[in-house]
Amino acid sequence: MTAPTISDAERSTAARIGQILFKHRGWLPVPFLAVPLLVPGQQTARTWIAGLVLVALGELIRTAGVAAAGTVTRRRSRDVQRLVTYGAFAWCRNPLYVGNFLAWIGFTVVSGVFWFIPVAIVIFAIEYTLIVRYEEGVLESIFGQEYLDYKQRTPRWFGRPPAGSTHGPHDWKEAIWSERSTLLQYVVLVGAFWYKGTLS
């Protein structure tokens, strides 16, 4: 049996650190949410509206990514069956992480702890750049030139209109169902931030 090819990108130091963060990425939102919840802030109707719009936009992008890629996006293994380049993935290579970022920043806006926004951006940039370096190395190992071509034409983060077709199979029902725990977390967080506001 032939051993799997490991790309130089996957062997890099950044990718190795990213692999550790990738395996424990379920804990990464903790500082993004703990600080806005625990630190005093100035909540207003405007912060609530603006923040919840960002949360909703982030979740829409996340759901679009899951609908295109399937629930395989929730796995923590390097076993990837297909390269998804359509739908949300035609706009940027990491729509789920972009969605996470917008949602977490949205809750910070809700909290009124505005000084934490640039701190959160720096934390996100460091953590997720390393994670993505690992994921990109894995995809290069598995898909080779096909992935490199996709990488060349599609931005890593904030997207631009795709040059080619964005059409491909989407399972919106499965995506929405798979996002039920995330939506429940949002409901709990809205309640927590509302309670925080009543104490100020």
pLDDT value of position 31: 83
Domain that holds residue 110: 8-199
Could you tell me the CA-to-CA distances from 163 to 85, 90, 93, 154, 158 in Å, in that order? 12, 8, 14, 9, 15
- Whether the per-residue pLDDT at 75 is higher than 60: the answer is no
Give the span between the Cα atoms of 154 and 87, in whole angstroms.
12
Percentage of residues of the chain with pLDDT beyond 90? 62
User: To the nearest whole number, what is the mean pLDDT of the chain?
Assistant: 88
Give the span between the Cα atoms of 34 and 135, in whole angstroms.
27
Residue 2 lies in a domain: no
Q: Which residue has the higher pLDDT, 81 or 179?
A: 179
pLDDT value of position 2: 47
Residue 3 lies in a domain: no
Q: How many domains does the chain have?
A: 1
Say if CB 196 and CB 37 are below 8 A apart.
Answer: yes
Residue 7 is given by DSSP the state: -
Residue 63 lies in a domain: yes
Could you tell me the CA-to-CA distances from 145 to 13, 55, 109, 130, 136 in Å, in that order? 22, 35, 41, 22, 12
State which amino acid sits at residue 19: Q
Could you tell me the CA-to-CA distances from 76 to 8, 131, 169, 194, 196 in Å, in that order? 21, 12, 23, 33, 34
Q: Which two tokens stand for residue 194?
A: 């509302």
Residue 59 lies in a domain: yes
- CATH no. for residue 43? 1.20.120
167-172 long-range CB contacts below 8 Å, 24 or more apart? Answer: 167/86, 167/87, 168/68, 168/84, 168/85, 168/86, 168/87, 169/68, 170/64, 170/67, 170/68, 170/87, 171/67, 171/70, 172/63, 172/67
Residue 48 lies in a domain: yes
How sure is the predictor about 103, in pLDDT bands with cuts at 50, 70 and 90? very high
Q: Which two tokens stand for residue 72?
A: 């395989």
Q: Which residue has the higher pLDDT, 73 or 66?
A: 66
> Which H or E run includes 1?
none
- Whether the per-residue pLDDT at 176 is higher than 60: the answer is yes
Residue 191 lies in a domain: yes
Residue 1 lies in a domain: no
Q: Which two tokens stand for residue 6?
A: 């490991």
Give the span between the Cα atoms of 179 and 193, in whole angstroms.
21
